[in-house]
Amino acid sequence: MNAAVDWLANQRPAMQAAVATLVDIDSNSHDKAGTDRVAQAMLGWLHSADVDAEHHSDPSEGDALLARLPGAQPGAAPVLLMGHRDTVFPTGTVAQRPWRVDGDRAYGPGVSDMKSGLVLQCFVLMALRRLPPLPFPVLGLFTADEEIGSQRGRITIEAHARGARAAFNAEPGRVSGNLVTERKGGATFTIDVTGRAAHSGMNHADGASAIETLARKVQALHALTDYAVGITANVGLISGGMSTNTVAPSAQAKLDLRFCSLPQREVLFERVKAIVDAPGVPGTEARLTQTSEFLPLERRWSGELMQRYQASAARVGFAVDGEFTGGCSDAGFTASLGIPTLCGVGPVGGKAHTDGEYCCLDTLVPRAQALVGTILSLAD
């Protein structure tokens, strides 16, 4: 263990330079060339440290970079290190506000969500490569569509996570310094209502208002919110109608649902379906389409790993706890397969998805060391 942790102790300048390199690459989820360039930079570091890695590039979004450290015991369940190469920032953001350091803080698009997390995972793999093989393989899986819902990423993640002994996702450590041991799941839906147009003055009674049907359904959907158990329903976008003097022939709403557990999800989805299927204004019809989904990270899947991480962090010299967030991440996909999962193992950072996003550079090395220790503890 010490060989890996000691090596990391001297990697602060290299890690910082690596984060700077990644931050200065625009890599919006839809910027295929950008997410490819992030993969190329990561491959360069991994290959230079003799870590097996390949980028399964293809022309569309959401491909994966896969790294692999072989295990000593054939067939042993692997450890999975995860991250996403995409950011929410449009191409051109780097030109406006590139990587910048002020004291202990670094700024720039995606610096904490999650360019610094990607670097941490690479350096953890490079550190472990310096040790004799662990009993189990260690996989690094770095996708490129998390910020737009992980539609393809989820398939790759689930394929590699099935049967893993643990998964660690490199979303940023919280502003408090904590990791994330609990996350909400979330799903988005579109509700399309069709009705019948009519002149609102001459033949109002011949019309069937899609807007009225949708309005009733929005009220019923919002009534699903139950703060006490962590369920929220939010129609955040609505559109419809043709003109003020036309009975609306169509209307559309976009719904965001959040929930804390898989059992909650089952009940909630049934209720949403029932609300949309319920009869509205005669002559109107409503259709429900699910557009995306993240699954929840429940504490039952993170608790034991968190204890291991805390012990490892204590050896490195810092105290840390786990906390809850309503935001979603890829960690829910592994946890929902029953894989012990920790999220927020990246360097500490804040203000993600804003101009003020920052990363605490002093946490680069200790967080990597703590993760190495946690992984090694799984070999005991």
In the complex, the smallest distance separating the C-beta of residue 84 from Zn ion, rounded to whole angstroms, is 6
CB distance 299 to 224 below 8 Å: no
26, 36, 61, 113: which one contacts Zn ion (CB under 5 A)? 113
| Binding to Zn ion in span 314-353, by CB under 5 A | none
Q: Which residue number, 63 or 171, has a Cβ lying nearer to Zn ion?
A: 171
Nearest to 47 by CA among 100, 164, 126, 155: 126
In the complex, the smallest distance separating the C-beta of residue 170 from Zn ion, rounded to whole angstroms, is 8
Token readout for 222 is 């919002």
- Residue corresponding to tokens 């786990």: 322
9 CB burial (10 A radius; 0-12, 13-18, 19+): middle
In the complex, the smallest distance separating the C-beta of residue 19 from Zn ion, rounded to whole angstroms, is 15
Query: Cα–Cα distances in Å, from 179 out to 76, 302, 345?
Result: 27, 10, 6
**Where does this chain touch Zn ion (CB under 5 A) — which range of 114-122, 152-160, 228-236, 248-256?**
114-122
In the complex, the smallest distance separating the C-beta of residue 169 from Zn ion, rounded to whole angstroms, is 9
In the complex, the smallest distance separating the C-beta of residue 370 from Zn ion, rounded to whole angstroms, is 19
SS3 of residue 58 by DSSP = coil
Helix (H) or strand (E) holding 365: helix 364-377
First to last CA, the chain: 12
Pairing of strands 285-294, 250-259: unpaired
Does the protein bind Zn ion through residue 145 (CB under 5 A)?
Answer: no
The full length of the chain comes to 380
Site string for Zn ion, 173-192 (x = CB under 5 A): --------------------
**Where does this chain touch Zn ion (CB under 5 A) — which range of 110-118, 127-135, 200-208, 311-319?**
110-118
Q: Which residue number, 161 or 193, has a Cβ lying nearer to Zn ion?
A: 161
Q: Which residue number, 171 or 182, has a Cβ lying nearer to Zn ion?
A: 171
- Residue of minimal Cβ distance to Zn ion: 113
Q: Which residue number, 241 or 327, has a Cβ lying nearer to Zn ion?
A: 327
Give the separation between CA 237 and CA 209, rounded to whole angstroms. 18
Q: Which residue number, 156 or 284, has a Cβ lying nearer to Zn ion?
A: 156
Q: Which residue number, 146 or 212, has a Cβ lying nearer to Zn ion?
A: 146
Nearest to 183 by CA among 230, 140, 236: 230
**Where does this chain touch Zn ion (CB under 5 A) — which range of 157-165, 170-178, 187-195, 277-285?**
170-178
Q: Which residue number, 114 or 210, has a Cβ lying nearer to Zn ion?
A: 114
SS3 of residue 352 by DSSP = coil
**Where does this chain touch Zn ion (CB under 5 A) — which range of 93-101, 123-131, 165-173, 319-327?**
165-173
Helix (H) or strand (E) holding 47: helix 32-48
For residue 184, the one-letter residue type is K
Residues that bind Zn ion (CB under 5 A): 113-114, 171
